[in-house]
Amino acid sequence: MLSSQRRHILHVCCFLIFIFIFEILAGGIIIFPSYQISSTYITDNPIEYYGLFSTIIIYFIRLLSLLPLPLAICHTCGLVLYNVFPDRPTLENSPLLGPKIRIRVVTRGDYPDLVRANVKRNLETCAKVGLNNFQIEIVTDKSISLIGLPTSMVREVVVPNDYRTKTGALYKSRALQYALEPDVNQLSPDDYIVHLDEETLLTENSVRGILNFVNSNQYDIGQGLITYANETIVNHITTLADSMRVGVDLGCLRFCLKKFHQPPFLFKGSFVVCRAQCEFEVTFDNGRAGSIAEDTYFAMLAMSKNKKFGWIEGEMWEKSPFTLGDFIKQRKRWLQGILLVVHERRLPIRVRIGLGIALYSWVTLPLTSLNVILTPLSVNIYLYIIGAVRSFSLVRLGYAQFALRICGTLATIPFVVICEITAVLWGLFSDKGKFYIVDKQLGPMLNV
């Protein structure tokens, strides 16, 4: 197998060739100028050819195409400047050294079997790496039986039904804030909290990356890569669609965290590592505006307080939504939550500008995609490809199945765009105060 560096060089060459060919096919790069005679007249006389109103609409759409340009530039820098196929992280210090780590899982308690099974697997993963000074904490609205789990390593925090925050935070924000209350919290300011969703699985690489991150003592908040095509795949369409999220992690998010030490365009709610002191200062008590996309609001508020962000090596595993309905509802919730954050006046404008660019690039996607030449469509399509390459295992699938999955990713893009547009329209014209939770439990859970 090729070395990590050679695979990255091959990826960069494929990336540049893909963009070049795409622009030729889209007409952005002219190879045969003889085809441009009529278009010259149209360019010189657009009002005469289209009429005033149509010309205004056309040029408005062309200007909208520049909106996602900052994102495309950051994606390109992340994919080119940093190795997309990094070597396995190696521990820089003994796992016995360093601050205490609290792995915090927030759940409503609707899927106790899923939570218990994943907690057990995460305990085993930590043991394989040699992590010792840690504890897994389950913050839940409903009590979950911890039978079969070591009580010294696992702690359950049940949020009382009558608990209210000062600003009226809801849903996950409310639970996270309860865990920070003085009579509940057991952490010192220099300890670290690892935030996971109830379906998130640690890998040995991610644990090593977390240990290196916290032992460096350079950053307040960190985030890493999450992949979605591991083990059992329930819905191939939604899994292939989530390849885009992997590409975004490797592109824009990684570049911004490594270069600027801030996430101006996006932030996730899982695989987040945060210094406890930072959470005490920023808090999750941010009212209704910070309750739907609590992760994004927290990141923007932390940026306003000049907290330093970093990238964490390694990857964690999650599952894509099991149904297309869940997929659309998930995107709808993200859109509505980010809309509330972008228009939250309590946050400084300087931290909302980048997020606003990302949001309205998403909202105007149906229009900007019409202008194929100017819109950074080629970069976005390549994010699906490289995300699929990183998600699927060539060794496990073999060349034929691996190639089929990559082609399948490209084939699902038009369908995914339709789902995204549906989520955008639904999110814009429906109640923005609901928090939909996606079902990630695979029927009866098996003992692992």
* 153-206 pLDDT per residue, tens: 999 999 999 999 999 999 999 999 999 999 999 999 999 999 999 999 999 999
pLDDT score of 447: 36
352-357: long-range pairs with CB below 8 Å, 24+: 352/300, 353/264, 354/70, 354/264, 354/265, 355/264, 355/265, 355/266, 355/296, 355/300, 357/67, 357/68, 357/70, 357/71, 357/265
pLDDT score of 26: 66
Cα(116)–Cα(55) distance, integer angstroms:
60
* Domains located in the chain, CATH noted: 101-238+261-322 (3.90.550.10)
Residue 405 three-state SS:
helix
Residue 223 three-state SS:
strand
39, pLDDT greater than 60: no
Burial annotation 303-322 (CB, 10 A radius, 16+ → b, else e): beeebbbbbbbbbbbbbbbb
448, pLDDT greater than 70: no
pLDDT score of 33: 62
| Furthest C-alpha separation in the chain | 78
Cα(326)–Cα(302) distance, integer angstroms:
30
Cα(240)–Cα(250) distance, integer angstroms:
16
Distance, CA of 130 to chain centre: 28
Q: In this predicted model, which residue has the larger pLDDT, 214 or 402?
A: 214
pLDDT score of 440: 61
What the block records as the tokens of 215 is 């032992």
The DSSP code for 289 is G
The DSSP code for 102 is E
107, pLDDT greater than 60: yes
Residue 418 has, within 13 A of its CA and on its CB side, a CA count of: 9
Cα dihedral 135, 140, 144, 148, rounded to 10, equals -10
Beta bridge partners of 101: 134, 192
CA-CA distances (angstroms) from residue 418 to 226, 236, 422? 24, 17, 6
What value does the mean pLDDT of the chain take?
89
Per-residue model confidence as pLDDT tens digits over 112-137: 999 999 999 999 999 999 999 999 99
Q: For a pLDDT cut of 70, what percent of the chain falls above it?
A: 90
Which helix (H) or strand (E) element contains residue 272? strand 272-275
Band (pLDDT 50/70/90 cuts) for residue 445 is very low
Residue in this structure with the two tokens 């622009």, named with its chain if needed: 23
User: Is the CB of residue 300 less than 8 Å from the CB of residue 359?
Assistant: no
Burial annotation 213-244 (CB, 10 A radius, 16+ → b, else e): bbbeeebbbbbbbbbbbbeebebebbbbbbbb
Per-residue model confidence as pLDDT tens digits over 288-343: 999 999 999 999 999 999 999 999 999 999 999 999 999 999 999 999 999 999 99
Which segments of 47-181 are extended strands (E)? 101-107, 134-140, 154-158
Mean per-residue pLDDT for 249-264? Answer: 97
pLDDT score of 261: 98
Residue in this structure with the two tokens 């002219």, named with its chain if needed: 30
